[in-house]
Amino acid sequence: MPVRKPRTKKAKQAAAKEVMGEFKRGTLRSGSPKGPKVKKRKQAIAIALSESGQSRNSRNKRPGGKPV
């Protein structure tokens, strides 16, 4: 059974922080556990946002839809 994504803002932040910690320790892998290690910070951020259920686009936009 797949792991449910966090629903509260605090839980999403904690999930993203955990993924970034894996990146700093050098244990974050892209794709499957046997996949290649993530070496780029931008890729680690994308994985963290994806796993925590946060959207990068909605995070950087104002209510009017224009970028900040």
Asked whether the beta carbons of 49 and 16 are under 8 A apart, the reply is yes
Q: Supply the DSSP symbol for 29.
A: B
pLDDT number for residue 24: 96
State the angle between helix axes of 41-52 and 9-25 in degrees (0 to 180), rounded to the nearest 10: 150
Query: Consecutive 10-residue runs of the chain (68 residues): their mean pLDDT?
Result: 75 91 94 91 92 67 57
pLDDT number for residue 25: 96
Distance of CA 8 to the CA centre of its chain: 15
pLDDT number for residue 58: 54
pLDDT number for residue 37: 95
pLDDT number for residue 51: 86
Per DSSP, what are the bridge partners of residue 61? 67
